[in-house]
Homo-oligomer: A and B are copies of this chain.
């Protein structure tokens, strides 16, 4: 029997809070003890990855307290309720089924007579077949020429996740002969966004994927018109250049304006939709359906790992619990995501949405205010770029900010250069190893300006190479981490009521139905 309780009502939380300050990270990571921690504090992940938490401010006693918290909060039971199709998104009274887009962790979930796993799989099959026809030239432009570019039109989860995934595999795909179409993305309602993308492509050889679950997202419909105008101006039939990804009940679903329509539904939140058709159509077109299937496989394997009750076998749950410890017990306000991989350049932006939109809440799942902090600020840039930017504050600033590193032994593009006795990839990896230790142990110096206090915790996810499977596992890891944190904080991670008020007010501005300061700002902006 699942019971949904606030974090501060759990006995295990009090015990966890009592461990505050017991781990001195600088000492713990020094000498052979540090080496032992690196060897032991590692949990295998799907996709050939490993979650290493040696440089986190935990020890076996803290880990026991985290396990007790996981047990008392019934984290894996709640996860089972989710993948078995219970109405976990209580605010919107919806099931949460994104895991079914890539596998089946529990029993069949049948809604209105439809087996949802079969439904999502059928949509993927449809996308795969469509992509194969595009690649074969069976679906082509009016001149019978193959499409060379795919442009996704969408915003929020219809943009950030798919864009991050595309960039993550673009070089890998180029190198392995899997880059079928180049992808571009139009998201912002700022007309300069669409203008910039349209000027950089050959519209006559471009296929557009319009993504809007409701079929009513203002930004996306506006950008669709923008694109249709551009196609018309080029003498092209827009309906031969455009497909839709939407829900079956949306106005887009049966429109003749599109070559084809692919469906998702209300049980898949935008920020959790990269493995649905929202990511599936554009990624299958870009890399081929086989690559997308490998990506799904990595995610499904990670979903399976998240079922383990033992935190030493469940990296997503462990990562989540350490995050709660840092946020609620140690009082840190933010987490920096620092992939040492240029391919993951937009992965932090995806995680920023995933995490902050899911857990940036002040009321619990029953609508009652909580008395503790919830989701942290998430930000980040790839290393080594960040080292030459904001790492100064991470090392010597007045706040401690926990760090989430990601690194791979091999790069993707198969090009490298040996300078001063090492390759670029070796330099990249040397830097991430060095940073972890610099943050953890710091350095004394008689000049306080050159001294490093250390004690700044980090974890690292390490893999052999960023492949489709590894990327799928990475995506799922963070989805499940965020889900587990939402369970611990007792918030609903699957709605986003905080985005509504701005929409309502923007409509009033456009209708000139304003007064007071809102009218004053509107006037200042010449609306």
A295 at the binding interface (Cβ < 8 Å): no
Whether A360 pairs with B516 at a CB distance below 8 angstroms is no
A506 at the binding interface (Cβ < 8 Å): yes
A387 at the binding interface (Cβ < 8 Å): yes
Contacts of A521 in B (CB 8 A): 38, 432-433, 436-437, 460
- List residues of A (210-231) whose CB comes within 8 Å of B's CBs: 218-219, 221-223, 225-226, 229
Whether A222 pairs with B334 at a CB distance below 8 angstroms is no
Contact A527 B434, CB 8 Å, known A379-B377, A398-B370: no
- List residues of A (463-514) whose CB comes within 8 Å of B's CBs: 492, 495-510
Whether B449 pairs with A38 at a CB distance below 8 angstroms is no
A85 at the binding interface (Cβ < 8 Å): no
- Mark contacts of A390-427 with chain B using CB atoms, 8 A cut-off: 1 yes-contact digit, 0 otherwise: 11111111110100000101011111110111111111
A255 at the binding interface (Cβ < 8 Å): no
Whether B424 pairs with A189 at a CB distance below 8 angstroms is yes
Distance in Å: Cβ of A403 to nearest Cβ of chain B: 12
A162 at the binding interface (Cβ < 8 Å): no
Contacts of A384 in B (CB 8 A): 155, 188-190, 219
Contact A524 B377, CB 8 Å, known A225-B419, A362-B453: no
Contacts of A434 in B (CB 8 A): 502-506, 508-509, 518
Distance in Å: Cβ of A160 to nearest Cβ of chain B: 6
Contact A510 B436, CB 8 Å, known A357-B390, A389-B357: no
A176 at the binding interface (Cβ < 8 Å): no
Contact A502 B427, CB 8 Å, known A174-B199, A195-B171, A453-B362: no
Whether A392 pairs with B425 at a CB distance below 8 angstroms is no
CA distance A187 to B388 in the complex (A): 10
Interface size class of A (residues with CB under 8 A): 35 or more
Distance in Å: Cβ of A370 to nearest Cβ of chain B: 7
* Partner of A360 from B393, B436, B453, B460 at Cβ < 8 Å: B393
- List residues of A (339-378) whose CB comes within 8 Å of B's CBs: 340-343, 349, 352-353, 356-363, 367-370, 372-375, 377-378
Contact A395 B449, CB 8 Å, known A39-B520, A190-B428: no
Distance in Å: Cβ of A31 to nearest Cβ of chain B: 5
How many copies are assembled? 2
Whether B506 pairs with A431 at a CB distance below 8 angstroms is yes
- List residues of A (110-132) whose CB comes within 8 Å of B's CBs: none
Contacts of A353 in B (CB 8 A): 388-390
A60 at the binding interface (Cβ < 8 Å): no
* Partner of A155 from B37, B385, B413 at Cβ < 8 Å: B385
Whether A191 pairs with B415 at a CB distance below 8 angstroms is yes
Contact A38 B370, CB 8 Å, known A191-B415, A377-B401: no
Whether A399 pairs with B363 at a CB distance below 8 angstroms is no
Contacts of A407 in B (CB 8 A): 525
Contacts of A39 in B (CB 8 A): 520
A159 at the binding interface (Cβ < 8 Å): yes
Contact A398 B191, CB 8 Å, known A222-B417, A501-B442, A525-B433: no
A44 at the binding interface (Cβ < 8 Å): no
Whether A524 pairs with B363 at a CB distance below 8 angstroms is no
Whether B378 pairs with A397 at a CB distance below 8 angstroms is no
Whether A409 pairs with B497 at a CB distance below 8 angstroms is no
CA distance A333 to B346 in the complex (A): 24
* Partner of A522 from B433, B452, B497 at Cβ < 8 Å: B433
Contacts of A516 in B (CB 8 A): 29-32, 34-35
Q: Report the nearest B residue to A52, measured CB to CB.
A: B524
Distance in Å: Cβ of A200 to nearest Cβ of chain B: 9
Max chain B CB contacts within 10 Å: which of A222, A381, A409, A507?
A: A222
CA distance A510 to B501 in the complex (A): 53
A462 at the binding interface (Cβ < 8 Å): yes
Whether A428 pairs with B379 at a CB distance below 8 angstroms is no
CA distance A193 to B415 in the complex (A): 10
Contact A509 B397, CB 8 Å, known A191-B411, A192-B412, A352-B389: no
Whether A501 pairs with B377 at a CB distance below 8 angstroms is no
A289 at the binding interface (Cβ < 8 Å): no
Contacts of A221 in B (CB 8 A): 419
CA distance A432 to B519 in the complex (A): 12
CA distance A473 to B329 in the complex (A): 43
Q: Report the nearest B residue to A373, measured CB to CB.
A: B398
Contacts of A368 in B (CB 8 A): 448
13 A–B contact pairs at CB < 8 A? A35-B516, A160-B385, A188-B383, A194-B415, A194-B424, A195-B414, A219-B384, A353-B389, A356-B392, A373-B398, A375-B393, A438-B505, A462-B525
Which 6 A-B residue pairings sit nearest by Cβ, starting from the closest?
A: A360-B393, A156-B388, A34-B517, A434-B505, A195-B413, A38-B520
Not counting A159-B385, A190-B340, A440-B517, a sample of 8 additional A-B residue pairs whose C-beta atoms are within 8 angstroms of each other reads: A32-B516, A157-B388, A352-B390, A353-B389, A377-B377, A392-B496, A430-B507, A442-B501
